[in-house]
Each structure stands twice: as structure tokens, then as C-alpha cells.
Structure 1
Amino acid sequence: MPVHHRHQTRMALTVSSDLSVNVTTDQNVIKLTDKQEVLKKSIQKGEPKSIGISQVMLGFLIISYSVPLLSAKLTEVVIFGVPWWSGISFVIAGAVALVMEKHNNISLVFTCMVFTVLAAVISVIAVIFYIIDIMRNPQSLCNRNSANTCDDEYYVTRLSVEVKSILMSLSMVQTAISSAFAFILYKERQNYNNYLLVN
């Protein structure tokens, strides 16, 4: 059997002094629909879908790229689990952005803004961790052995520093994305609130 979707439209019934009846669309419904459309357009201006996907991808990249650190010397970055909690925070922030883009809800805009700001703060903290770690655990000098090759410590520390440099770069990109997106969300939320005041 075919399924019929019923669209409900609220109508306002008015009776004038000469007993003529007028049927008009409820203005409250029109205003509510307009507000929902304004919110939807405001949210879409911020490109939440593409930004959300970018955040999720960056989060998973950081987590996957950090795996080689487990086989290297244990330093502050690994001990405190910096790549993992920073990567997970980016994935969560991206997921919230994707949910917001789908549902167009003003409360979700605020929630997304909070998670995005948190992701930006966490990424800054992660960058600081990487800088300190690289400075405290630099790449070792190449001490050549009898086979005229560098010793194992040189290659281990080199791998560790290079991986941390990549993770630091990804975290800096995340800082830029999260900061810009949080600002966009804040501006769009302000614009929507101003629209509500005027209307």
C-alpha cells in the first residue's frame, strides 16, 4: 500500500462584524518556520559537515600516527597519552558538528561551539607537550659502528622526533580549524539571537 504523508497546517479562523468568516494561516506557525529556516541557513554558512569530517579525520590520523611511539623510548608524550586524548577529543568535536549539521537545533549549535573550543584548547596543550618533549628528548648523534652505520639509538630517537613533529603539525592544523569554526559558530549564534530580538 502507498504511504501518504500528511502535512498539518494550522489555520486561524476569524469572524468579522458582518459575520463573514476568514481563514488564514496561523502567523505563529509562519514565524516558527521562518526562524527554523534562518537557523538552518546560519548553520550551513559555517560548513559544519566538511569541518566535522576534517576534525574526525585529523583525530584518527593523530591516533594512528602515534602507534610507532609505543615501540620507541617512553617519553612524556607517550606517558601522558597526549596523542590519544587529543585525537579522541577531535573525533568527538567532529561528530558533534556532523550531528548539528543534520538536526539544525540552536541548543546543538551551543553544544558544538563548546566542544569545538575544548578541542582547540586541547590541541594547544598537545602542541606545548610536543615542543617540550622534542626539546627534552632530541635526536641522538650518529655514532658509527664497525659496519660504518649509525647505532640503534640514533634511528630510534630520529623516528620518535619525526613522528612527534608530524603529530605537532596535525595538532596545529586542528587548532586553526577549531578556532575558526568556534568563531563562526559564535557569530552565527549571535546573528540568530539578533534575528529573534527583531522578530
Structure 2
Amino acid sequence: MAVSVSRDLTVQVLEDVNAVKLTDTQQALRAAIQRGEPKSLGVSQVMLGLMVMSYSIPLHLTHITEVVNLGVPWWSGLTFITAGVVAIILDKHCTMKILRVCLIASGVSTVLSVVAVIIYSVDMSRNPGSPCVVTSYGPCDEEHYATMLSRGLKSSLLLFTLTQTVISAIVCFLLFRQRRSFGQYSSLHQAAPLTPTTITAPDFY
């Protein structure tokens, strides 16, 4: 903080150069992050998480497989929603602390998405669709329709999870690049005065 004293004993507090640089860097960080549109990506993650969890509900009414036993749609969907909410918060409150939290959440979401994709793929290969057996009540038995419904739902969940993997990977890449660029400014959330302040000495006469 620079201080100047004039001849009439007026004390003027000048702008702090470091504070100005810090604020400019904070604004640059916000602009850089908003160019990546974290809010849009966060909303997409939340919507995908909700869709994964809602699409998994009918799986409990069909043939129970490893996907249902391990609860893959539920923990993966909750992870997607959490990562999306943190990304939306980052868009509103752009600080290095929230950036690191968002980076960690997106990284975890990416890893768990890959794990979920593997589980879906293995489950679908181990549980093929039941062949159509003609019965007196219709062209195929109930087992055929149940397995076909289960595979259809798992295919949709696999597609949603692949999309989430791509989105989380993009968010991780963008945030990691910004963290490397602005990582030295660890206290960007601290505000500093930008305008000069004038203090007039009291009149002793």
C-alpha cells in the first residue's frame, strides 16, 4: 500500500499495485473459465445423472443382474449430479478453492464413469437376450420381453454414461489448464481496495 502526504498534511492512500494485479488476475480467471461454459456443462451433468437414475428404476422390475446388484446407476448418477452442481457453483463463485473442488469432482466422475461403462459392457455380454419361445398366449414368452427390456435400458444407460465420461473429461481438461495458468494466485477470493482513499489531517488551529 502506497501513501503520499501533501504539503497541507492531506494523506492520500494510493492504489496497491499488487491488489490491482490480483484483481485483474481474478477477472482473467473468471473470463477464462466462463469461456469453457462450466454452467452449461454442469447442467448437462445434472440432467444425465437424473436420467441415469430414472432409467434404472424399471431394471428392478425385470431380470436382476450385476448392474442392479452393484447399484451402478445410483452411485454413478449421484456422482454425475454432484460434479454438475459443483460446476454450476464455480460459474457463480469463481475462486481457486472451488476450482480445485470442481476439478476433483470431475476427475472422480470421469473415473467412475469408465468403471460404470465396463460394468455395463460385462453385464450385457454375460446376460444376452432370451430367445423368443412361442406360447399359447402370444408370439413370445415373458422372459424374452423382460430380457429385451433390460438390455434396452442398459444400452441407454451405457450411452448416457459414455456421454458423461466425455463431458467430465472435457471439464477436467479445461479446469486443469486454468489451474496451471492461475495456480500461483491461491488467494484470488480475497478482495482488495481498488480506489485511492484520501484522509485529511485534523485542523489544530
User: Would you say same fold, with TM above 0.5?
Assistant: yes
Higher helix share: 1
* Correspondence list, 1:95-114, <5 A: 95-114=85-104
- Could you say which residue in structure 2 is the equivalent of 1:173? 163
Runs of 5+ unmatched residues, structure 2: 187-205
What is the TM-score normalised by the length of structure 2? Answer: 0.84
Deviations 1:13-71 (A, max 9, x none): 22489x99765322233122112212211221221100000000000000001111010
Match of 2:62 in 1: 72
Greater relative contact order (Cα 8 A, min sep 6): structure 1 or 2? Answer: 2
5+ long unaligned stretches in structure 1 = 1-10
Distance 2:14 2:28 in 1: 23
Instruction: Call closer, same or farther: CA 1:148–1:16 in 2, change over 3 Å.
Output: closer
Q: Read off the aligned partner of 2:86 and give its amino acid letter.
A: V
Q: In the TM superposition, what are the counterparts of 1:178-197 in structure 2 within 5 Å? A: 178-193=168-183
Off by >4 Å, runs of 4+ in structure 1: 19-23
Out of 10, 19, 41, the residue aligned to residue 31 of structure 2 is 41
1:62 match: 52
1:50-105 per-residue CA deviation (whole Å, 9 max, x = no partner) reads 00000000000000011110101110000000000000000000001111111111
What is the correspondence of 1:1-199 to structure 2 with a 5 Å cutoff?
12-15=2-5, 24-193=14-183
Task: Find the residue that maps to 2:183 and give its secondary structure.
Answer: helix
SS in 2 for 1:42: helix
Give the residue type in structure 2 aligned to 1:129: I
- The TM-score, its normalising length taken from structure 1, stands at 0.86
1:42 and 1:192 in contact (8 A); partners too = no
* Distance (Å, rounded) in 1 between the aligned partners of 2:4 and 2:146: 82
Instruction: Give the CA RMSD over aligned residues.
Output: 2.1
